């Protein structure tokens, strides 16, 4: 499988992998970004990719990668060309917050995303007992773990869309002027899923 987008000399595009444990809400978020609508999601086997125009001459390409244990082995393939990272957390799933934090810390150790900006989406804020942005910031040790990059923790609800405009705005601000975001089409290399 190969993907190539069309060359358009003036369009800047940034690659944004969306990672996080299974069921964090990544696919729901992607549909909401793209269509401003909610769809019935099924667990993502492999990945979904969508390019979304963010105003004139700037496109974000979102890579929504499955979060099941076996898919996490291939997350690193999606980091190589990343201009920004969206890390999605189910803020209400207290039992798996530690697991999510460990995976997050593993990602940050990857050389490919050294200094790459990170937006953490503290999703499912509508659910009772969800940790708020400050609590997620502390739990994920953002100040320590992301001291070498721009970062932001955005509370949101993928179902209603609350908080998503702010998250996109942050992503755009972080990535738009980054030297890593490219000014022409990008050739997406083949990615094998287990
Ligand atoms: P994933 O792509 O990260 O694996 P999905 O996660 O987008 O498939 O979402 C997993 C489940 O969480 C879905 O429910 C979805 O509707 C739900 N979900 C996603 N975001 C939110 C949110 O902000 N609030 C609430 N309450 N639920 C959310 P099902 O029932 O289909 O498994
Ligand atoms: Mg999914």
Q: What is the 3-state secondary structure (H, E, C) of 75-103?
A: HHHHCCCCCCEEEEEECCCHHHHHHHHHH
Give the model confidence (pLDDT) of 140-182 as tens digits: 999 999 999 999 999 999 999 999 999 999 999 999 866 565 5
Residue with the bigger pLDDT between 166 and 183: it is 166
Mean pLDDT over 74-101 rounds to 95
Q: Nearest to residue 103, comparing CAs of 83, 127, 146, 73?
A: 73
Q: How far is the CA of 185 from the centre of ligand 2 (A)?
A: 26
CATH numeric code, 12-187 = 3.40.50.300
Nearest CA to ligand 1 atom 15: 25
Model-level pTM?
Answer: 0.88
Give the whole-number percent of the chain exceeding pLDDT 70. 82
Q: How far is the CA of 109 from the centre of ligand 1 (A)?
A: 27
Q: Where are the alpha helices (DSSP H) in 121-192?
A: 133-139, 142-145, 164-176
Nearest CA to ligand 1 atom 29: 41
Q: How far is the CA of 170 from the centre of ligand 1 (A)?
A: 23
> Which of 5-14, 50-59, 159-168 is predicted with the least confidence, judged by mean pLDDT?
5-14
Ligand 1 atom closest to the Cα of residue 28 is 7
Task: Parse the chain into domains and list their residue ranges.
Answer: 12-187
Give the model confidence (pLDDT) of 97-117 as tens digits: 999 999 999 999 999 999 999
154 carries an active-site annotation: no
Average pLDDT, the chain: 86
> Which of 26-40, 124-138, 153-167 is predicted with the least confidence, judged by mean pLDDT?
26-40
Which of the following is catalytic: 4, 13, 68, 73? Answer: 68
Report whether residue 120 contacts ligand 1, using a CB cutoff of 6 Å.
no
**Nearest ligand by distance to the CA of 45:** 2
Mean pLDDT over 83-108 rounds to 97
Residue with the bigger pLDDT between 118 and 184: it is 118
Does position 82 have pLDDT exceeding 70, yes or no? Answer: yes
Residue 13 pLDDT level (bands cut at 50, 70, 90): confident
Mean pLDDT over 124-131 rounds to 98
The tokens of 37 are what? 């609508």
Protein residues near ligand 2, an ion, with CB under 5 A: 26-27, 44
């Amino acid at each position: 499988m190969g993907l190539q987008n069309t060359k358009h000399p003036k369009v800047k595009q940034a690659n944004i992998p969306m990672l996080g444990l299974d069921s964090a809400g990544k696919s729901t978020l992607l549909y909401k970004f793209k269509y401003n609508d909610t769809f019935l999601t099924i667990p993502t086997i492999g990945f979904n990719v969508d390019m979304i125009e963010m105003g004139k001459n700037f496109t974000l390409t979102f890579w929504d990668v499955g979060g099941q244990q076996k898919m996490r082995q291939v997350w690193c393939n999606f980091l190589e060309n990343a201009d920004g990272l969206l890390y999605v957390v189910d803020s209400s799933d207290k039992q798996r917050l530690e697991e999510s934090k460990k995976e997050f810390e593993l990602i940050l150790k990857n050389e490919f995303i050294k200094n790459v900006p990170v937006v953490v989406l503290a999703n499912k804020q509508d659910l009772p007992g969800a940790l708020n942005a400050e609590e997620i910031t502390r739990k994920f040790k953002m100040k320590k773990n992301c001291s070498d990059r721009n970062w932001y923790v955005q509370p949101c609800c993928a179902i209603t869309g609350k908080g998503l405009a702010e998250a996109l705005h942050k992503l755009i601000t972080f990535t738009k002027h980054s030297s890593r975001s490219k000014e022409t089409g990008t050739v997406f290399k083949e990615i094998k899923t287990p």
